[in-house]
Amino acid sequence: MGRLDGKVALITGAARGQGRAHALTLAREGADIIGVDVLQDIDTVPYGLATRDELEQTARDVEDLDRRALFVQADVRDQGSLDDAVSRGLSEFGRIDILSANAGIYSQANFWELTEQMWQDMIDVNLSGVWRTCKAVAPHMIERRSGAIVLTASVNGFSPGYQLSHYVAAKHGVLGLMRNYAVELAPYDIRVNAVCPGVIDTRMVNNPPLYERMAGRADSTREEALEAVRHFHLLHGRSMMPPETVSNAILWLVSDEAVNITGVALPVDAGHNVLDGYNP
């Protein structure tokens, strides 16, 4: 018996990284998975987005857990593609019980160096993309008067970050959306929460183009970059955290064990918020 037997979860950014870990974690607990990813690079993202191979591999891995998988290409910048993904999911599985709005991008620059395009891409994917995703799924949940939504924010949803004003603005906005959606959807018994990860070991932060930015010096190595982010975490030797650490928090938030939890921003940050004196 899984904690999510009979449930269907839609996850954005599901091909790799945290989204992939969420898909496998929820599938292991019995959920069928509708996975959405973009499969197209965005110019202002220095490390590249998911590939078709990654999307197909994650779908196969969900099926290997004896769960059904529908993995489709859709872009959270495009409402039509999200609406199509939801329609396909509903005609295949008949319901969507869980939404993980996880897709996101990352770039770094001082705010006076940001290009218009960097700003717009960040807001379009990391903030407006969450709105569009929830807009696509909410009517179905409202009709069924049931559902659990988790938005992926960040520790930067409540604290500043080095060269991250555009990311910080988007993630603060995600926590604002989360609180407002929690209020708007409560009459339908739909819960809305957020996770706020610290530094997670995925391509988003663990990639050569970003090492220089993270360590503050050209030709920085992975080790120097990782050393530079260590001060964020208090636990586990201050190392980067595996994505499953966030998946397990989401699993709990969408399970019946959290039936009275809504409007909460849950840090999954090995103590970063305590150290910096921020607490959402």
**What residues make contact with ligand NAD under the rule CB under 6 A?**
12-13, 15-19, 37-38, 49-50, 75-77, 102-106, 125, 129, 152, 154, 197, 199-200, 202-205
Nearer to ligand NAD, 182 or 205 (CB): 205
Give dist(CA 250, CA 177) in Å, integer. 17
Which of 156, 162, 172, 40 is closest to 113 using CA atoms? 162
Q: How far is the CB of 246 from ligand NAD (least distance, A)?
A: 7
Nearer to ligand NAD, 189 or 276 (CB): 276
Which of 269, 214, 221 is closest to 241 using CA atoms? 269
Q: How far is the CB of 279 from ligand NAD (least distance, A)?
A: 17
Catalytic residue among 167, 188, 211, 278: 167
Q: How far is the CB of 165 from ligand NAD (least distance, A)?
A: 15
Q: What is the DSSP letter of 37?
A: E
List, in order, residues 6 or more apart from 234 with CB less than 8 Å away: 270, 271, 272, 274, 275
Give dist(CA 47, CA 261) in Å, integer. 36
Amino acid in the structure at residue 236: H
Nearer to ligand NAD, 204 or 265 (CB): 204
Q: Is 225 exposed, middle or buried (0-12, 13-18, 19+ CB in 10 A)?
A: buried
Nearer to ligand NAD, 147 or 243 (CB): 243
Q: How far is the CB of 6 from ligand NAD (least distance, A)?
A: 27
Residue 205 to residues 106, 150, 209, Cα–Cα distance (Å): 8, 22, 9
Nearer to ligand NAD, 18 or 44 (CB): 18
Give dist(CA 138, CA 181) in Å, integer. 10
Q: How far is the CB of 229 from ligand NAD (least distance, A)?
A: 8
Dihedral of CA atoms 106, 110, 113, 117 in degrees, nearest 10, equals 20
Active site (annotated) includes residue 47: no
Which residues are catalytic, by number?
167
